[in-house]
Amino acid sequence: MSGTLYMVPSHISDVNGANDLPQSTTSIISSLRHFVVENVRTVRRFLKSVDKQIDIDGLTMCELSEHTPDAKIPEMLAPAIAGENIGMVSEAGCPGVADPGATLAAEAHRRGIRVVPLVGPSSLLMALMASGLNGQNFAFRGYLPIGTELVRALRQMEERSQRENQTQIFIEAPYRNDKMLDALLSSLHAETRLCIARNVMGADELIVTHKVSEWRKLARPSLHKIPTVFLFLA
């Protein structure tokens, strides 16, 4: 009988630490001995914060990132094929959602291995919950193009948002957040509602929604190198 692939949510803030996760999730994490991870060093710290009794050196860890060849994916599931459980952990948040993990889950499904998502924080959903924007119809766009293509993408998204009453959700590399905000305020219509969700669950958390016309009059929040989710509804 095959083992189970657990999709393990990790901390999205250094402030709350293991308090981000319910006991049911931490119990399963503590029982695992095999992991596929985005970054070994980060996951070692994460596991110690979950359970100080975990024997880190006794665990097996394979790295999976956007640069991992597809041919390497099947061998990462060897423990599950042998009947052992595996945990997939990305850098911050939920694996498979804006983070590595989807290819591993897809291969597990092809091989008849059970895939189980564990309960934990998602900055994307938490931002949507607090935004006041439409939570019945929304689209996560991941990372948008840069340069001249960004303005075109934003305008296409705004047209769809207005046509379908659909909230648009996306993220940016933290060092480009300020440029993204510049593009949003210069490209979107004045009546479009824009939510900035900075460092969700962190000490300097900021989740605020205003019309673009109102944002243009306000002092801009500091976003440089701080994880931020952007949302808007036309």
pLDDT of 31 over the 60 cut: yes
pLDDT digits (tens, 9 = 90+) for 43-70: 999 999 899 999 999 999 999 988 899 8
Indicate the pTM of the whole model. Answer: 0.89
Question: What gap in Å lies between CA 37 and CA 39, rounded to an integer?
Answer: 5
Contact 204, 225 (CB under 8 A): no
pLDDT digits (tens, 9 = 90+) for 112-127: 999 999 988 889 999 9
Q: Scan for tokens 């959903």, then name that residue.
A: 125
Distance (Å) of CA 218 to CA 140, 171, 182, 188, 213? 26, 22, 13, 16, 9
Distance (Å) of CA 207 to CA 8, 19, 176, 199, 217? 25, 20, 18, 9, 18
222: left (phi over 0), alpha (psi -120 to 50) or beta: beta
The pLDDT mean for the chain works out to 93
Contact 185, 195 (CB under 8 A): no
Q: Indicate the range of 15-19, 22-26, 28-32 predicted with least confidence.
A: 15-19
pLDDT digits (tens, 9 = 90+) for 103-159: 999 999 999 999 999 988 889 999 999 999 999 999 999 999 998 899 999 999 999
Q: How does residue 17 score in pLDDT terms, banded at 50, 70 and 90?
A: low
